[in-house]
Structure 1
């Protein structure tokens, strides 16, 4: 096995002392912005040169790239949004770098292009972000995302003429876009402009809700709601379907703990009224009929329930009335469509859709085509027509039209793909974690694949995020080579409600790593994979997961792909959106949290003396969610130690942020490299596909 000579990385002398503990941070200088610090830029160039040279030696990369191009080249649709009798939807013809926004004037009419972002940048890295049609369907407010950043520039398009209006709104991030009922303007959320040169690193504070009136400059926008005395609070605004109310949801971190403020837009002097105070519970707006509002909440219901409130009730506190009680399954969402409550549940991580009357009486279910995940079910409270998506690991996303009145679903858009989905099997197993907790895991294989086989294990494990079954053409390229793909639904996610989330965060974070390690041990014990055949992958919080478990059990894994990970758990809250994450991770400035964080922080727990798996980390220069300094420092530390002969490399993309908006050609290149890398280190023999 040929050893690798890593670039020389300057090792600093920075040492921080917290609570009597001295913590070395020799690569602090790599936190600097690669766009403005020539020294960091030179380090990035050296690392990419080394990684590119290594990846060029992998025989399977060109085979994967060719096959990925064929697999991804299929028509993909987003779920339509109906406004003013028109149907607005995203579509990618196959290999377009960015999805294009279309409109149909009738359900079965021909679609015409409204917004095509593919010409916005030569490298294809400028994307169409959030968008919303006005109530009459005559205008679209849309966001432009450049180079993967979370920042947005907001513009307005006239649907009939295709003309982009002069209206421009800047410094928008993590925002809804919601039209006034009369189409006079829209509500949005923005941050103050960051200090010069700090656009991609300064913390995000003092978000406020504004109203932009069409035809006026942003400087004239009306401030609707802000909490300057509580700068860490964030606010999103949504106009109700009837246009009479503005619902403002306030958060402070990543937890679903909200304050809800409403504004009666029909009042002579509209004024904010906070109806749920305290940031104690989840209150997700499901719709309203007049002053009767429906909410999905975890108050007195860790697996969620549906309640209603009458905003016209004359009482000191808004009375809460239970409509649909908590179930054994987790209530994942609800909406009022065609005079019915349509609710989505998770039953052992699989979707089930149930209907209720507005007073909570069961009214049947929506028949789904199999085991998988649903999305959508948006629309007007009095319109029986809605759309939903269905997907699974072996089922490309299909869009269905659903008629609430008849209960019938019909296919609206179904893709044709370059493989036979029936050739792939999806199974669900349950295994015991270290403390005996029963954890579900999905396993996907091509028919005829028998173990032990090269296996890729994926998980996330945080922020109440559920890893539901979903299709990705990129994974088919791995499976058709005889690989196995497994997704462990570990604690920290939302698979079983609040208790599952709480069981994997703060002082309980080690449960996340134990669950993942137990998944790897299960796959080996049951013969799905063998010695030196298990690769692991995760992104963002999942990147943290991969970094932590590699440190704790380097012997268990043959290869690892930690992507855009949170790797320095003692400084994550100092950059961009990092300060939101204290809900899951805790505060590095508090002693109890500090001691927990230090025990598993990937950057701080790399220890020489044990051979590590092959590692290909990944980040991007414009990632302003998890700043690239996390991965830079982690990589430098890995390369500074004797961890055995396997490579420890990093791929650093340009003009590619945390993941959203990434162009198709970049996805193909990155995935080909990832699959070829883990194929080499799990013993997979990659062959051309006929």
Structure 2
């Protein structure tokens, strides 16, 4: 497509801001597809090409970035916001510790390090095990995951490059600090599972993609292998695959006694699994189905001896916990924790109890459940969210994190033996939590459904009206939005903005029913819920259309794109990040095929009609006055390929009839979000908040 290079030139944008910026002119092509008798134009199909393989797309990216960066660099508050973000970010942060024998493993970031560093602590002394900050000059080499071997002798760890979902795994000897020769490629979407004797581990991988297709080709034919320490990957033993079902994916778990391998089988994103098990003590034993049919969730909680615990949706749409003794003569399921009114989010096993994290009206509640069935609620500081629950089968100590919009992530340690809780790690962030307030409200959506959302702001702004407001949502894939701390949101509130998080349908806040009500043919409910949230904020004088912005990432980027098309009058600005914007072709790239569970597919006539009605790319209308839009994406995003955002902004720039800027910010050597260096995060949010400050006419006082 070399002829397209000459088409990238600049023309004056049709807006009142023409003196300030011009858009690159994007060539359109005469490409059409026919879906079930309907002809659909795709004039920017060429922008789907991988930027690494297409000089035309690379030139277009550079041209768009140049316009966007010139606009942002001229914004009055940009440097002030960056300084504030940098100052706030500069404090020690820790992950929830993991205990193996007499060793404690944890991640730590000194403050402005691009990547967190893995430490081990023994006898009160800590040492660095893995420091990824030296892996790449631009900070984009990340420690994506790590798994400690059962006795704490080794750490298997995953290297992420440039934000890609692909992982390269290596092994480190904890005592010597030596990195072994083990080197595994083409792993994605799961961790390894160690043998109890630490001789090796099980893992799942895809076949090596064709050259040049690493970041776009569909992911099929995953298989489970066993790796023995010291062997080349080519010598690894195939444990399980299913050639008749190339779309199946696998995650692995070895029981605490080392006897059983469990393979969780998934084929999409709707948390319906099959489970196989294999007796590792019997030579030649084959994996056998324990749960078959992709009918329910069966997520492994943990194990004690031969008994494995699962959280499941079978006969429990809000989930319950069951167990099964794999060593018994006759296998039978036993209910350990019945379904509750609230939704079970996750659970973990200590030596003698089950620790269960529930969502009660989109906020966390934590319980200890004893063998007798007695439930004890653990006290939490405020409305917020629990995360990173770590337990040990040899102890009744529980480590977990807690945070809220005005409560920095703090690590707690609870001793179940004496019911004592202490702060294990408390961050020192440069702000006063008492200056902020977090409130939960319920509003009514278009069809009468009650929807919760949290409103966070400075206390000094509580009685003020018409405030600059940022409304955030996701609404998909059973993902629940709980009140969590983030420095970027705190900065927004310090700027004088209101931060609002809506718990719209499609998420998992109220279980399967809530999730399913926002999927496939019901997807419009998600957009209606989000629009109703904006209307509530205006009706209650918190903000106005001229002072409100919307923000969402990934599936939330789709949300923002669709709502911007449907109600361009309701918001002054929109930030769709790494969004799924072409709803007719998303399943043609990388992991996109998994999302059919939530979205449906254009291959299905009924689902096509719905997808076509709201697809952000296909519903941009020429002559419409759109709000200010800043699209965010990255050139190495192999989760939601950047072509989605490229095509969407090209259509939007061609259609915009109003004065507001519609631009795209394309991060280089970055991906879908995981592993993003601190420096890139700070720069991105300085750009976004400055863009919103300009287009919401904010007076920023930091």
Range of TM-score over shorter length = over 0.9
- Are 2:302 and 2:310, in contact at CA under 8 Å, matched by a contact in 1? yes
CA distance, structure 2, for counterparts of residue 510 and residue 292 of structure 1: 43
CA distance, structure 2, for counterparts of residue 549 and residue 298 of structure 1: 32
TM-score in terms of structure 1 length: 0.97
Once the two structures are TM-superposed, the CA of residue 311 in structure 1 deviates from its matched residue by 2.4
CA distance, structure 2, for counterparts of residue 476 and residue 382 of structure 1: 39
SS in 1 for 2:525: helix
What is aligned with 2:58? 41
Equivalences for residues 483-522 of structure 1 within 5 A: 483-522=497-536
Once the two structures are TM-superposed, the CA of residue 451 in structure 1 deviates from its matched residue by 2.0
Once the two structures are TM-superposed, the CA of residue 314 in structure 1 deviates from its matched residue by 4.1
* Structure 2 residue 105 is matched with structure 1 residue 105: no
Cα deviation per residue 1:559-617 (whole Å; 9 max; x = unaligned)?
00000000000000000000000000001111011111000000000112331100000
SS in 2 for 1:79: coil
- Are 2:622 and 2:654, in contact at CA under 8 Å, matched by a contact in 1? no
* Structure 2 residue 258 is matched with structure 1 residue 243: yes
* Structure 2 residue 188 is matched with structure 1 residue 176: no
What is aligned with 2:158? 143
What is aligned with 1:382? 394
- Larger mean CA deviation between 543-552 and 396-405 belongs to 396-405
CA distance, structure 1, for counterparts of residue 183 and residue 209 of structure 2: 18
State which of 619, 640, 663 in structure 1 corresponds to 2:677.
663
- RMSD between aligned alpha carbons? 1.2
What is aligned with 1:336? 349
Cα deviation per residue 1:355-403 (whole Å; 9 max; x = unaligned)?
22235x1241222222211123333223212311111111111111221
What is aligned with 2:82? 65
* Structure 2 residue 630 is matched with structure 1 residue 616: yes
Cα deviation per residue 1:92-121 (whole Å; 9 max; x = unaligned)?
010000000011014xx1321110010111
CA distance, structure 1, for counterparts of residue 172 and residue 340 of structure 2: 44
* Structure 2 residue 64 is matched with structure 1 residue 52: no
Equivalences for residues 467-616 of structure 1 within 5 A: 467-616=481-630
- Are 1:455 and 1:529, in contact at CA under 8 Å, matched by a contact in 2? yes
Once the two structures are TM-superposed, the CA of residue 442 in structure 1 deviates from its matched residue by 0.5
CA distance, structure 2, for counterparts of residue 179 and residue 292 of structure 1: 18
What is aligned with 1:442? 454
- Are 1:71 and 1:474, in contact at CA under 8 Å, matched by a contact in 2? no
What is aligned with 2:135? 120
CA distance, structure 1, for counterparts of residue 333 and residue 34 of structure 2: 49
State which of 224, 228, 237 in structure 1 corresponds to 2:239.
224
- Are 2:255 and 2:306, in contact at CA under 8 Å, matched by a contact in 1? no
SS in 2 for 1:156: strand
Once the two structures are TM-superposed, the CA of residue 132 in structure 1 deviates from its matched residue by 0.9
* Structure 2 residue 101 is matched with structure 1 residue 88: no
CA distance, structure 1, for counterparts of residue 594 and residue 255 of structure 2: 27
What is aligned with 2:7? none
What is aligned with 1:78? 95
Once the two structures are TM-superposed, the CA of residue 650 in structure 1 deviates from its matched residue by 0.1
- Are 1:86 and 1:103, in contact at CA under 8 Å, matched by a contact in 2? yes
SS in 2 for 1:478: helix
CA distance, structure 1, for counterparts of residue 655 and residue 406 of structure 2: 41
- Larger mean CA deviation between 413-422 and 542-551 belongs to 413-422
State which of 338, 348, 352 in structure 1 corresponds to 2:361.
348
What is aligned with 2:9? none
- Are 2:257 and 2:306, in contact at CA under 8 Å, matched by a contact in 1? no
Once the two structures are TM-superposed, the CA of residue 263 in structure 1 deviates from its matched residue by 1.4
CA distance, structure 1, for counterparts of residue 491 and residue 391 of structure 2: 36
Cα deviation per residue 1:182-222 (whole Å; 9 max; x = unaligned)?
11111111100001110000001111111111111000111
What is aligned with 2:376? 364
SS in 1 for 2:225: strand
State which of 173, 187, 194 in structure 1 corresponds to 2:209.
194
Once the two structures are TM-superposed, the CA of residue 530 in structure 1 deviates from its matched residue by 1.9
CA distance, structure 1, for counterparts of residue 59 and residue 292 of structure 2: 50
SS in 2 for 1:556: coil
Once the two structures are TM-superposed, the CA of residue 319 in structure 1 deviates from its matched residue by 2.5
What is aligned with 2:49? 32
What is aligned with 1:422? 434
Once the two structures are TM-superposed, the CA of residue 309 in structure 1 deviates from its matched residue by 2.1
SS in 1 for 2:603: coil
SS in 1 for 2:453: strand
CA distance, structure 2, for counterparts of residue 6 and residue 182 of structure 1: 61
- Are 2:159 and 2:169, in contact at CA under 8 Å, matched by a contact in 1? yes
Question: Aligned pairs, how many?
Answer: 683
Once the two structures are TM-superposed, the CA of residue 310 in structure 1 deviates from its matched residue by 2.8
Cα deviation per residue 1:217-254 (whole Å; 9 max; x = unaligned)?
00011111211210000000011222221111100001
CA distance, structure 1, for counterparts of residue 475 and residue 496 of structure 2: 27
SS in 2 for 1:154: strand
CA distance, structure 2, for counterparts of residue 610 and residue 39 of structure 1: 29
Q: After TM superposition, which residue ranges in structure 1, 4 or more long, deviate above 6 angstroms? A: none
CA distance, structure 1, for counterparts of residue 220 and residue 115 of structure 2: 30
CA distance, structure 2, for counterparts of residue 611 and residue 123 of structure 1: 39
- Are 1:72 and 1:94, in contact at CA under 8 Å, matched by a contact in 2? yes
What is aligned with 1:11? 28
What is aligned with 2:12? none
CA distance, structure 1, for counterparts of residue 252 and residue 425 of structure 2: 31
Cα deviation per residue 1:29-72 (whole Å; 9 max; x = unaligned)?
00000011000001001100110111111101011000000011
What is aligned with 2:11? none
- Are 1:307 and 1:323, in contact at CA under 8 Å, matched by a contact in 2? yes
- Are 2:92 and 2:110, in contact at CA under 8 Å, matched by a contact in 1? yes
State which of 651, 658, 665 in structure 2 corresponds to 1:637.
651
CA distance, structure 2, for counterparts of residue 431 and residue 389 of structure 1: 30
- Are 1:241 and 1:380, in contact at CA under 8 Å, matched by a contact in 2? no
Once the two structures are TM-superposed, the CA of residue 328 in structure 1 deviates from its matched residue by 0.9
Once the two structures are TM-superposed, the CA of residue 269 in structure 1 deviates from its matched residue by 3.8
SS in 2 for 1:452: coil
What is aligned with 1:325? 338
The 3 A distance-change label for structure 1 pair 14 and 356 is same
Q: Which runs of 5+ in 1 are unaligned?
A: none
CA distance, structure 2, for counterparts of residue 225 and residue 85 of structure 1: 35
SS in 2 for 1:286: strand
SS in 2 for 1:255: coil
CA distance, structure 2, for counterparts of residue 117 and residue 622 of structure 1: 19
CA distance, structure 2, for counterparts of residue 158 and residue 366 of structure 1: 37
CA distance, structure 2, for counterparts of residue 659 and residue 524 of structure 1: 31
Once the two structures are TM-superposed, the CA of residue 313 in structure 1 deviates from its matched residue by 4.2
- Are 2:397 and 2:413, in contact at CA under 8 Å, matched by a contact in 1? yes
